[in-house]
Chains A and B, each alone.
Chain A
Amino acid sequence: MNDATAPAAPAAHAAPGAPLPARVLVVDDNAINRKKLRIAVTRLGHDAETATDGREALRMLAERSFDAVLLDIVMPQMDGFDVLDRMRASPAMRDVPVIVVSALDDETESVVRAIELGAEDFLPKSFDPVILKARLEASLTRKRFRDQEKEYFGRIERLTEAAEKLERGRFDPDSLALDDLVRHSDPLGRLAAVFRGMANEIYERELKLHRAVATLQGSFLVLAVGLVWGLTPALSRMAAGLGSNPLGLAVWVNGIAALLCLGIACYRRRLPRLGWRELRFYAYWALIAGILQRMTTFVAAAHVEAAMLSLIVTLQGFIVFAVAAMTGMERADAKRLAGLLVGLAGVSLVLFTRFDIAAGAQNAWLIFAMLLPLLFAVEALVLAGKRPAQVDIFASVGLMMGLSAAFLAPVAWATDSLLPLGPDIGRLELLVLLMGIVGASSLLLAFRLVATAGAVFYSQSAYAMTIAGVVWGMLLLSEELSPLAWLAFAVIVLGMYLVEPKRNDKELVIKRSFVR
């Protein structure tokens, strides 16, 4: 019933009418009888092996598989009845058919007893070869049928297990494990194929939906990060207008953000217990994100035109992509790269039409400005790969902000840049508080984004940030908003669709409403 494509079909699958040679065990203590039966069985086209007594027979049956046993009853030590007894007690030997060989005249009782003990048939000692052939074939056919039945039931059981998995929402073809069942060309194989095909279809559909939702969520977060982060330059410019300096401002802003985040973590009773490894991580992070980034921005901003700087910052996406590709941290294919390029095009669209980039800066400062996207990329990758996962997200951001404020404070003091604030609440105080909230929430959003969508997708927030910076500048400093900015937004969103958040390796478990 199997065609040639069926793999390694065992004897049980042989086409009816063309029986394969069977392995027959001849058990007789009498050497001549043994030889007689062996020759007779071999002449019928089967393979015969012999055992000289019951013990040897049982040992051979345990070691190898036989399709039938020709068993003498009267033997010294362990007779045929004992062999039958032991065989029926063993699950492995139970299904091997036994034909007892006996002289009919004075052994009728023995034959009856043997059949009661489970022997399939009997063969007279002085047998006709036609009778041997008929009885052997009948036994073998029954055995093949039983084997096939067993194999069939085994497959039905596997299919039932797969159905149970399905009911628990696990539609992934890999976890259903039906591959070998599908290869059978009988009705059960076809059923398995249909079953797996439908499960696969549902799984693929759910996976697509899942990814679409993840892209949508990720895109929303990217825009949110960009919008919040893009607020910072505008607020900084307003603060500068009120007589602050960047270093002193940074100490206050980071300190306030730290207090806010740690306060929330405390309220949520999630203040972590920190070891040296965690502390070291937050110290490095503060150094990279809180100090190096800020200082580089500060210095670069003084020498490179703002629009050019924004454009350079967006290069972080490509750096993250390159690192992801090299380390295999995330999927790095042409489609994602194309998405990043589309996003870059969107940003360039705004910057090139608004500013005269060519008049930007000297080449040396441009190269220095390249540090900035590198630092952003390092931050994104470190957040994605190395963050102590057990530490609460609020506590993490609070710790980083607190440490960077602590690092910056002595520098500010030494350079006489400390900003005296309060105790009266004026415009600058309110502004600094707002900047603290903005700084904390942008990092929290970034954190969430990196965790859910991966570093590559996250790095697109640089685009959103640049555009948002332009937009906020227009709104807060009451400049006119160009329709091109809206087009650029659309182009960036298209880029996000192409980049797609990182895929979760975990199997998608589909929640089902019709579970019993």
Chain B
Amino acid sequence: MSGEVIDPAALERLLAAIGGDPEDLRELLDDFQQEGPRALSQMQSAAHAGDRDALRISAHSLKSNARDFGATALAAECARTEQAAATDDLEALHARIGVIAAELERARTALAELARRDE
């Protein structure tokens, strides 16, 4: 199941980029478990406040993390939201955030699974 959610090539690229130490990678994965939900709640409150710029920026931020960890579907949804933040009506944006929340959960579970397996 994790194979569908997470692109292993992306994780390898990330590992190479940070110099190849799996410890460092594990630390980043832990960070993502914390930071992912935080980015999501930022998007939600931005959408509630109607702050489109804040929504765009937090979508952009989560997108880059999702790409790094190979969460392809999450990244794609974030990218779409980032682009639509300025134009779509708020209701549609709320719906997108709902999709992002689901994708984030899938990605976190998959990544946690991967981390456990590596140990």
Contacts of B19 in A (CB 8 A): 39-40, 42-44, 129
Quick one: closest B residue to A76, CB to CB? B57
B65 touches A32 (CB 8 A): yes
Among B10, B57, B65, contact of A33 (Cβ-Cβ < 8 Å): B65
A32 touches B31 (CB 8 A): yes
A40, A42, A127 interface centre (most CB from chain B within 10 Å):
A40
- Tell me, in angstroms, the Cα distance from A315 to B53 when the chains sit together: 99
Contacts of B35 in A (CB 8 A): 30-32
One digit per residue, 1 when the CB lies within 8 angstroms of any chain A CB and 0 when it does not, for chain B 1-42 equals: 000000000100110111111001001100110010000000
B68 touches A128 (CB 8 A): no
A36 touches B16 (CB 8 A): no
Interface residues on A, range: 20 to 34
Among A42, A44, A76, A126, contact of B13 (Cβ-Cβ < 8 Å): A126
Among B17, B21, B54, contact of A36 (Cβ-Cβ < 8 Å): B17
Among B37-54, those with CB < 8 Å from A are 53-54
Chain B nearest Cβ from A51, distance in angstroms: 16
Among B10, B17, B83, contact of A40 (Cβ-Cβ < 8 Å): B17
B68 touches A125 (CB 8 A): yes
Contacts of B20 in A (CB 8 A): 43
- Tell me, in angstroms, the Cα distance from A191 to B117 when the chains sit together: 68
B84 at the interface (CB under 8 A from A): no
Chain A nearest Cβ from B84, distance in angstroms: 13
Interface residues on B, range: 20 to 34
- Tell me, in angstroms, the Cα distance from A4 to B116 when the chains sit together: 54
- Tell me, in angstroms, the Cα distance from A29 to B60 when the chains sit together: 11
B64 touches A103 (CB 8 A): yes
Chain B nearest Cβ from A32, distance in angstroms: 5
In the complex where A32-B65, A75-B57 touch, is A126 in contact with B17 (Cβ < 8 A)? yes
A29 touches B61 (CB 8 A): yes
Quick one: closest A residue to B18, CB to CB? A39
Quick one: closest B residue to A42, CB to CB? B19
B114 at the interface (CB under 8 A from A): no
Among B60-79, those with CB < 8 Å from A are 60-61, 63-65, 67-68, 79
Among A31, A76, A106, A129, contact of B17 (Cβ-Cβ < 8 Å): A129
A35 touches B17 (CB 8 A): no
A125 touches B64 (CB 8 A): yes
- Tell me, in angstroms, the Cα distance from A33 to B57 when the chains sit together: 14
- Tell me, in angstroms, the Cα distance from A44 to B68 when the chains sit together: 20
In the complex where A76-B54, A127-B17 touch, is A39 in contact with B10 (Cβ < 8 A)? no
Chain B nearest Cβ from A134, distance in angstroms: 13
B65 touches A126 (CB 8 A): no
- Tell me, in angstroms, the Cα distance from A126 to B13 when the chains sit together: 8
A30, A35, A39, A126 interface centre (most CB from chain B within 10 Å):
A30
What are 17 A-B interface contacts by the 8 Å CB criterion? Answer: A30-B61, A30-B65, A32-B35, A33-B61, A39-B21, A39-B24, A40-B18, A43-B21, A74-B61, A76-B54, A103-B63, A103-B64, A106-B83, A125-B68, A126-B10, A126-B14, A129-B18
Known: A35-B27, A43-B20, A76-B53. 8 other contacts (CB 8 A): A32-B65, A36-B18, A36-B28, A39-B19, A39-B24, A40-B19, A42-B19, A74-B57
Q: Which 9 A-B pairs have the closest CB atoms?
A: A43-B19, A39-B18, A30-B61, A74-B60, A32-B31, A32-B65, A39-B24, A40-B18, A125-B64
